[in-house]
Structure 1
Amino acid sequence: MTITLHEPRVRSVLDRLFGAAASDDDHFDAPAWGDLGSASAQERADALAGIYMPISARGGDLLYGLVRASRPDTVVEFGTSFGISTLYLAAAVADNGKGRVYGTEMSEVKVATARKNLDEAGLGGVATILPGDARRTLADLKGPIGLVLLDGWKELCLPVLRDLESRLAPGALVVADDIDQESMADYLAYVREPANGYVSVAFPVEDGMEISCRA
């Protein structure tokens, strides 16, 4: 059986992107990030248009496995950046032989680059990158949605989830990245409260992922 994730053209794109992301980490200007604390989401996206902010490789493998196992018809990604996580999601959809990935990204630079990376990996045919504010670009996306990845601005993860809830399929999976950040506290409190309809568990990959089932 072919595993698209392991195909040379996919691995070469992922290796290149992870290498560039590692270079980001070596040269990232932390004070500059702090200066953006009062900026809007769009202003931050434009200011950080050259910064990768990716999921980890093990986090990507987890996403691939979750999509393969759950076989969703519709996958939504909040926060595409340069498309590293999108490649994992799209590879899984391709191997399932069904479904489509809808990514969202505010930075026009990143939208164009993510599309190029997907095409280079041969996965552009199963993924659509929507430019702009996810709360607007996803408003007309029809359900049922089988899997959601939340990896955009952390203060927006809960609002985006709430916007999508009425379109989540029973048993849908919601994955949130970087749960070690303080700005994810409200989100975690929400999905970990049984009254809100989720069964949720933290998964120990780099920076932490929360996997929540819409039960």
Structure 2
Amino acid sequence: MQQDNYVEKLLKHLLPLQEDILRDERQRDDVCPSVGKELGRMLHLLILATRPQKVLEIGTSMGYAAIWMGTALKQTGGKLITIEYHERLVNEARINLEKAGLSDVVSVHQGMAEDLLDELEGPFGLILQDGGTRTYKETLDKLVDKLPSGGLLVADDVLFAIHAQRERPKQNMSDFNRRLFERQDLFSTILSVGDGLSLSVKK
């Protein structure tokens, strides 16, 4: 689309490393696509605007989104904790974050988000949910509990509810979206960026 091409030309990465990560992802079949430049820049902007002391990410992958957020947090003095299940991706993310000069800002934890959330001390001013679709509904209550009033929950891939090719991810995201918008302690919206993202603020 002409509109997408126009936006793509305007938006720039902070580091050449980010282009390398996206290029690597496109050549592999063992890595889920990252959030992309639009959402990456939005996360960077949200952190600069709200200046949270602690940020949490579910689904590190190779560290693409963590670089966007970590670079902003380095300016504001905050910290990022990011959770990834697969050991090989944990190792790759740590290498990429070290290359980006963010090892002192971003801490990568390996394990199941459902288990590790009980061990992490909040509150987190911003949380990004970008893990496997099955974790979205299962972790929603815990993630909201980790938010302070005014804290932000950003969830990627929410339009898998209509676009996913396989039935399980489609159902997972449909269930998550329904529960998200049923919550009275959040005010939420959905933006059709990439595979869709929801943005929620805790009341």
Encode CA deviations 1:191-212: one digit per residue, 9 max, x unaligned. Answer: 21252x1110112211111001
SS in 2 for 1:82: coil
SS in 2 for 1:170: coil
Instruction: Quote how far apart the aligned CAs of 1:142 are.
Output: 1.1
In structure 2, runs of 5+ residues without a counterpart are 1-11, 161-169
SS in 1 for 2:56: strand
Encode CA deviations 1:113-135: one digit per residue, 9 max, x unaligned. Answer: 10110000111110000001112
For 1:139 and 1:126, the matched residues in 2 are separated by 22
Residue 120 (structure 1) aligns with:
99
The question of whether the paired residues in 2 share the 8 Å contact of 1:79 and 1:103 is answered with yes
Residue from 199, 204, 211 that aligns with 2:187: 199
Residue 72 (structure 1) aligns with:
52
Instruction: Quote how far apart the aligned CAs of 1:52 are.
Output: 4.0
Residue 14 (structure 1) aligns with:
18
Would you say 1:150 and 2:129 are equivalent positions?
yes
Encode CA deviations 1:110-158: one digit per residue, 9 max, x unaligned. Answer: 0011011000011111000000111222212111111110010112112
Residue from 189, 193, 210 that aligns with 2:178: 189
Aligned CA-pair RMSD? 1.6
For 2:182 and 2:32, the matched residues in 1 are separated by 32
SS in 2 for 1:130: strand
Residue 92 (structure 1) aligns with:
72
Tell me the TM-score normalised to structure 1 length. 0.80
Number of aligned residue pairs: 182
Change (3 A) 1:115 1:187: same
Greater mean alpha carbon deviation, residues 151-160 or residues 122-131: 151-160
Would you say 1:103 and 2:82 are equivalent positions?
yes
Amino acid at match of 1:99: G
Identical amino acids, percent of aligned pairs: 29
Instruction: Quote how far apart the aligned CAs of 1:75 are.
Output: 0.6
Amino acid at match of 2:157: D
Amino acid at match of 1:130: H
For 2:73 and 2:89, the matched residues in 1 are separated by 22
For 1:194 and 1:178, the matched residues in 2 are separated by 19
The question of whether the paired residues in 2 share the 8 Å contact of 1:52 and 1:82 is answered with no
Amino acid at match of 2:126: L
Tell me the TM-score normalised to structure 2 length. 0.84
Residue from 153, 174, 184 that aligns with 1:174: 153
The question of whether the paired residues in 2 share the 8 Å contact of 1:102 and 1:129 is answered with yes
SS in 2 for 1:128: strand
Amino acid at match of 1:185: S
In structure 1, runs of 5+ residues without a counterpart are 1-5, 29-49
Residue 108 (structure 2) aligns with:
129
